[in-house]
């Protein structure tokens, strides 16, 4: 067992857990993910980020390079067992008896690793490669000492003949004294990957160096694809390590210390962790500012995920950041009125990304309007720019996807974008209609702000036509259908209500939600992604084969938004469900999965931390939910 402690100022939460994993990012695309013991996944370790061109085109590809597999303390008796993990948000402390390791990740491709009160060896194991390069041929490490630095060169060749080099990775360590190089390979089994049916779940890692420690040691490690850059980064960190630690602590205190009161101390600590998590996933890379969908696998700006996550930034009054991200997203508005599903581009289509982007633009404008700050953040010219973008999108969506007064989508174009059998959600789906209706409502607001009364009236009439049509065909007086011809209950009813609550009266929403809850509710405090009585329902997470992904697995972002929606409709009628969801999300954030991060999904069978370790919209919607139930300090 390990003692897990979260600490920020006067906020504290702690519990005994079987094991713990932790993650820190550098806000430049890279991350560190380690455990209390051996890593459970091949995606753990330290990774740094690079951008490259794709062929001769102007398109770019984002890459992650893995370097460190693990760092551990070795005494004469072997590896020291970890007894405590302390999450200070700006750093992580890993405690083994009297010995203490502290991990700090500056906003660069570097790692500050500090050891206190330990005599023995520090074992550095490496697994250098591109994140998805699992070829075991042609791998070469060279370890050398140079002017007080340890320099490790990794080279990847096309084959065992070591003739044609594909790429190199360099690791530079400063602050070490005596060291030896075991120069040996070790087979490593990854149980989390095996459980996810993700191959390979066995790889060989390299025992690179054993660094002698006699009491205390500060190691500065830096990584790059060329030696000079790695040396430069390590040298800078070594010269400024105290200042970097101070900056990290001040930065996290500035964004995470409580600004409002919550009903329980655990909620406050979980909320601080969620704020820290979404900040860690907010990246400024290669002149692109945005939010990664999640780590380790979704290291891109996914339009839908990012737009949903902006609700937290609006709640936290980060209005400039929200505007900056929306502006970037709208640059990728396509001829059919949609926005590309992600940046860098993928082949996936997204029917709802554009709706969520304009939902957030509307939310931002509404908040600024209430605070009488619209013209502080938007010039008249900018408002006209967004009005033109919105009008173009509405017009193009109607030209390309309007089918008799409803908006149609193709297979796998909604957030439920995996297929089992013929279950692809092709057709006309409830949350797509509501997101489009919200766009029509926003068009009226912007027309009013730009004093265009004719357009304001035009969009008001259009909204009524689409709203009446949607209500007529989706609402049967008892329940809200997930799609035309599909009465299967899914939690998209909550997304629909969140996006466009005007569709139904409150009592109608309450009735429909109660009907949905009878079929979707999970007693531990979540929602299944399909009716529990459906033949497609899966009780347990099935990993990479996606069978359970949208047909059973409970998504934390949906759960959090569902609790928020129910709180707005009737916190009295839905008190049991609201509290259960908040408690489940709080427990997962604090004491399950990756410390202080909100995972992607849980199995329907019971509260678990599964899928992506740190999912942006999970943390973001938790922050929104906490604002919903909070009172100002």
Per-residue pLDDT tens digits for 282-314? 999 988 999 999 999 999 999 999 999 999 999
For residue 631, the model assigns a pLDDT of 87
Q: For the segment 377-405, what is each residue's pLDDT rounded down to a tens digit?
A: 999 999 999 999 999 999 999 999 999 99
> What is the per-residue DSSP string for 52-94?
EE-TTSS-EEEEEEEEEEEEEEEETTEEPPP-EEEE-SS-EEE
Both tokens of 356, joined, read 């969520």
pLDDT for res 56: 54
pLDDT at 632: 80
Position 58 scores a pLDDT of 66
Tell me the per-residue pLDDT of 187-212, one tens digit each, with 9 for 90 and over: 999 999 999 999 999 999 999 999 99
Those residues whose C-beta lies under 8 Å from the C-beta of residue 472, and which sit 6 or more positions away, are: none
Token look-up 């982007």 returns 357
Residue 178 CA: distances (Å) to CA of 43, 145, 210, 230? 30, 10, 9, 21
Q: 202, 186 in Cβ contact below 8 A?
A: no
pLDDT value at residue 348: 85
Residue-level pLDDT at 78? 78
Beta strands in 18-161 (DSSP E): 21-25, 31-35, 45-53, 60-75, 78-79, 84-87, 92-96, 99-104, 110-130, 139-146, 149-157
Q: What is the pLDDT of residue 372?
A: 97
How many CA atoms are closer than 13 Å to the CA of 253, on its beta-carbon side?
9
May I ask the CATH architecture of the domain 258-632?
A: Alpha/alpha barrel (1.50)
For the chain, list residues with pLDDT below 70.
55-58, 633
Tokens coding 83:
């007894």
Question: Residues 6 or more apart from 507 whose CB is under 8 A from it?
Answer: none
State the distance between the two ends of the chain, measured CA to CA, in whole angstroms.
37
Token output for 564 = 């928020």
Q: What pLDDT is stored for residue 353 in this prediction?
A: 98
What was the pLDDT predicted at 68? 98
What is the number of other CB atoms lying within 10 angstroms of the CB of residue 88? 18
Give yes or no on whether 2-253 and 258-632 have one common fold.
Answer: no
Q: Where exactly are the structural domains of the chain?
A: 2-253, 258-632
CA distance 554 to 549: 8
Strand partners, 423: 420
**CA 30 – CA 295 distance, rounded (Å):** 10
Token pair, residue 503, equals 């569709």
- My answer on whether omega of the bond before 200 falls inside 30° of 0, hence cis, is yes
Its pTM surpasses 0.75: yes
CATH topology of domain 2-253: Beta-galactosidase; Chain A, domain 5 (2.70.98)
Gap between the Cα atoms of 245 and 265, Å rounded? 27
How many angstroms separate the Cα of 298 from the Cα of each of 86, 302, 373, 506, 613?
Answer: 27, 8, 35, 37, 10
d(CA 259, CA 13): 18
User: What is the C-alpha to C-alpha distance for residues 342 and 305, in angstroms, rounded to an integer?
Assistant: 9
């Amino acid at each position: 067992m390990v003692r897990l402690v979260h600490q920020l100022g006067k906020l504290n939460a702690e519990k005994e857990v079987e094991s713990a994993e932790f993650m820190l990012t550098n806000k430049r695309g890279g991350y560190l993910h380690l455990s209390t013991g051996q890593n459970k996944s091949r995606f753990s370790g330290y990774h740094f980020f690079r951008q490259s061109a794709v062929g001769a085109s102007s398109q770019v590809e984002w890459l992650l390079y893995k370097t460190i597999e693990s760092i551990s303390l070795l005494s004469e008796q072997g590896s020291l067992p970890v007894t405590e993990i302390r999450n200070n948000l700006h750093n992580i402390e890993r405690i083994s008896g009297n010995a203490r390791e502290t991990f700090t990740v500056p906003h660069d491709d570097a790692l500050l690793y500090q050891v206190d009160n330990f005599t023995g060896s520090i074992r550095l194991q490496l697994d250098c490669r591109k994140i998805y390069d699992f070829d075991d041929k042609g791998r070469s490490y060279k370890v050398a000492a140079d002017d007080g630095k340890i320099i490790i060169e990794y080279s990847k060749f096309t084959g065992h003949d070591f003739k044609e080099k594909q790429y190199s990775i360099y690791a530079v360590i400063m602050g070490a004294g005596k060291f030896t190089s075991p120069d040996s390979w070790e087979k490593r089994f990854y149980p989390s990957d095996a459980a996810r049916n993700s191959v390979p779940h066995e790889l060989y890692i390299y025992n690179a160096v054993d660094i002698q420690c006699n009491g205390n040691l500060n190691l500065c490690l830096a990584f790059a694809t060329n030696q000079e850059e790695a040396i430069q980064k390590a040298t800078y960190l070594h010269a400024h390590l105290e200042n970097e630690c101070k900056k990290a602590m001040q930065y996290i205190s500035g964004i995470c210390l409580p600004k409002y009161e919550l009903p329980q101390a655990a909620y406050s600590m979980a909320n601080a962790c969620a704020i820290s998590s979404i900040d860690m996933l907010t990246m400024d890379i290669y002149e692109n500012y945005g939010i990664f969908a999640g780590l380790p696998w979704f290291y891109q700006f996914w339009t839908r995920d990012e737009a949903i996550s902006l609700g937290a930034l609006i709640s936290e009054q980060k209005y400039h950041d929200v505007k900056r991200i929306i502006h970037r997203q709208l640059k990728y508005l396509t001829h059919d009125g949609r926005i590309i599903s992600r940046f860098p581009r993928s082949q996936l289509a997204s029917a709802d990304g554009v709706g969520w982007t304009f939902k957030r633009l509307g939310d931002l404008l509404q908040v600024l309007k209430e605070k009488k700050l619209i013209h502080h953040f938007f010039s008249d010219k900018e408002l006209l720019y967004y009005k033109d973008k919105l009008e173009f999108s509405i017009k193009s969506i109607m030209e390309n996807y309007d089918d008799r007064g409803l908006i149609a989508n193709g297979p796998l174009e909604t957030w439920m974008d995996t297929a089992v059998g013929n279950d692809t959600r092709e057709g006309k789906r409830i949350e797509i209609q509501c997101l489009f209706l919200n766009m029509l409502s926003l068009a009226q607001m912007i027309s009013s702000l730009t004093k265009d009364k004719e357009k304001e009236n035009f969009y008001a009439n259009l909204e009524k036509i689409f709203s009446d049509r949607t209500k007529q065909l989706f609402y049967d007086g008892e329940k809200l259908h997930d799609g035309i011809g599909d009465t299967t209950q899914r939690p998209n009813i909550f997304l629909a209500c969140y996006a466009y609550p005007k569709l139904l009266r409150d009592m109608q929403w309450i009735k429909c939600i109660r009907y949905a809850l009878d079929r979707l509710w999970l007693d531990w405090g979540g929602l299944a992604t399909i009716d529990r009585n459906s033949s497609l329902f899966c009780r347990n997470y099935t990993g990479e084969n996606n069978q359970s992904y949208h047909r059973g697995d409970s998504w934390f972002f949906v759960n959090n938004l569902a609790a928020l929606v129910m709180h707005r409709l009737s916190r009295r009628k839905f008190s049991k469900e609201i509290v259960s969801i908040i408690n489940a999300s709080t427990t997962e954030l604090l004491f399950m999965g990756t410390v202080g991060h909100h995972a992607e999904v849980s199995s329907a069978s019971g509260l678990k931390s599964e899928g992506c370790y740190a999912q942006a919209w999970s943390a973001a919607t938790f922050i929104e939910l906490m604002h919903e139930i909070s009172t100002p300090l």
